[in-house]
Amino acid sequence: MFDRRLITHFNWIYLLLILLISAIGIANMYSATSSWTTAAQPVYLKQFYWLGIGLLIVALICVFDYRHLEYLSFPLYGGNLLLLILVLAIGRTSMGATRWISLAGFNVQPSEIMKIVIIVALARYFSEKEHLRGFNLRELIAPGLILGVPALLIMKQPDLGTALLVLCIGGTMALFAGVQRSSVTFLAVAGLAAAGGGWFLLHDYQKQRILTFLNPERDPLGAGYHIIQSKIAVGSGGFNGLGFMKGTQSQLSFLPERHTDFAFSVFAEEWGLIGCLLLLALYCLIVLLGLHIALRSCDRFGMYLAIGVSAMLFWHIVVNLGMVIGLLPVVGVPLPLFSYGGTSMVSTMTGIGVLMNVGMRRFMF
């Protein structure tokens, strides 16, 4: 069963890029949290362990042929949907949102799992249905429901960031599958209208975030504080950066959330434009390589899987960076491989595992 080609087709360069970004991320985390004296175990070390677990997941996923996922896709989707409903019913609430559920002693965040499962489910759907002229509105109802139901459930938690990301991933996959131009136009207009109407459904803190994004000075010590401090950190980094461990914004704790969502600000302050461009290039490369894997995959299911994972990485990177440098509103989206967090690491590595799985089995058809 084991084919030597599995090894030769394994994308080592991709793995190297992943490790490189993770290493930079851990070094950056070391700097960002160096002023913490109380933590029993340093955060950068914990992130290191999570990276190990992540790599284990990648290895584990690569052992099995991704094509088995095709049969499992809808049961997985159904199970995940059930979990999302369970979260709303009996989930654990922290900081005003209910996102967690206890499964066999583990705290699980079903919305994070959904990012992967939606990719699998839609990949299955789009690989079977194809319209050369592109999908029209009526034909989009089924995938729209597959995507919309979990997105709504996640939004209800409330977790706007994840919900939007799930929509972006699904939307990207749908666009790739082909949608009629008139339908795209209609959806765009409808989307804008829905956004206008949805404004009234948003929670106060979500409205604050959007208003504050439009004008951070509105509330410099409150909701605008994050974005102002982050821009100061990034901007004061300059061309060369202030040097490792020397960023005053992060070392003196002016920067909030600096080991999680705003980890990039710390990096930008200390490494300057040079460092940022290098990191940007690395991230750009993993997205483009993901697309390349999709292009060269041996079947449509694999292609859509690779497209979905690439979209997931792409949107995470763009939304997080856009937020950190003041181009997008502050939504709690972590930077893959760079922000601290076990959940993010596990879901990212699961996606990467799937992607590499597709890449190493492109010869089989």
Partner 1 sequence: MSLNPPPEETPGLRRRFIISSSIVVCAFFVLALRLWSLQVLGVDHYRELSERNRIRHVAIHAPRGAVFDRYGTLLVDNRPAFTVSALRQEIGDREKLFHHLSELLEVDEEQLEERWQAGQGLPRYRPLPLLEDVGRQAMEMVQENSVDLPGILVEVKPLRAYPYGEMAAHLFGYLGEVTENELDQPEFSGYRSGEMVGKTALEREFEGRLRGTAGQKRIEVNVRGRELRQLTTRSPLPGQRLYLTIDAALQQAAETALADNAGAVVALDVRSGEILAFVSRPTFDPALFARGVSSDEWRELIDNPRHPMTNKVLRGQYPPGSTFKMVVALAALEAGTVTPTTKFECDGSFKLGNSYEYRCWKRNGHGIVDLHKAIKESCDVWFYRAGLETGIDRIASAAQRLGLGQPTGFPFGGESSGLIPSRAWKKKRFGTSWYDGETVISSIGQGFVLTTPLQLASMAAALANGGTVWKPRIVQKIVDLEGETDWLLTPEKLTETAWSTESLKAVRDAMESVVNDVGGTAWRSRLEKVRFAGKTGTAQVVRRKSDEEEEQAEDDEVIPYQYRDHAIFVSYAPADNPQIAVAVVVEHGGHGSSVAAPVARAVYDAYFTEETDSKDTVQKVVTGD
Residues interacting with partner 1, by CB under 8 A?
35, 67, 70, 127-128, 130, 132, 176, 178, 229, 231-239, 248-249, 252-254, 268, 272-273, 276-277, 280-281, 283-284, 287-288, 291, 294-301, 303, 307, 314, 318, 321-322, 325-327, 365
State which residue, 54 or 329, has the beta carbon closest to partner 1.
329
State which residue, 154 or 293, has the beta carbon closest to partner 1.
293
Q: How far is CA 51 from CA 219, 261, 345, 346, 350, in A?
A: 37, 17, 7, 8, 12
Distance CA 304, CA 318 (A): 20
Mode of pairing for the β-strands spanning 97-103 and 106-108: antiparallel
User: How far from the centroid of its chain's Cα atoms is residue 324's Cα?
Assistant: 15
Residue given tokens 């434009």 in the structure block? 273
Phi/psi of residue 336, each to 5°? Answer: -55, 135
Q: Spell out the alpha helix ranges (H) of the chain.
A: 4-8, 12-32, 43-63, 68-90, 110-128, 141-155, 160-177, 181-198, 204-214, 225-237, 248-251, 263-295, 300-324, 342-360
State which residue, 157 or 250, has the beta carbon closest to partner 1.
250
Quick one: 277 exposed, middle or buried, by C-beta within 10 A (0-12, 13-18, 19+)? exposed
* Side-chain half-sphere exposure of 35, counting CA atoms within 13 A: 15
Q: How far is the CB of 15 from partner 1 (least distance, A)?
A: 20
Q: How far is the CB of 236 from partner 1 (least distance, A)?
A: 4
Q: How far is the CB of 272 from partner 1 (least distance, A)?
A: 6
DSSP state of 99: E
The edge-to-edge listing of strands for the beta sheet with 92-94 is 92-94, 97-103, 106-108
State which residue, 27 or 318, has the beta carbon closest to partner 1.
318
Q: How far is the CB of 336 from partner 1 (least distance, A)?
A: 14
State which residue, 22 or 297, has the beta carbon closest to partner 1.
297
Please report, as a single letter, which amino acid is at residue 229.
Answer: Q
State which residue, 6 or 228, has the beta carbon closest to partner 1.
228
Q: How far is the CB of 292 from partner 1 (least distance, A)?
A: 8
CA-nearest of 281, 160, 178, 186 to 152 is 160
Q: How far is the CB of 365 from partner 1 (least distance, A)?
A: 7
State which residue, 108 or 305, has the beta carbon closest to partner 1.
305
State which residue, 102 or 253, has the beta carbon closest to partner 1.
253
Mode of pairing for the β-strands spanning 106-108 and 92-94: unpaired
Q: How far is the CB of 128 from partner 1 (least distance, A)?
A: 7
Q: Can you name the residues that pair with 102 across neighbouring β-strands?
A: 107
Q: How far is the CB of 268 from partner 1 (least distance, A)?
A: 7
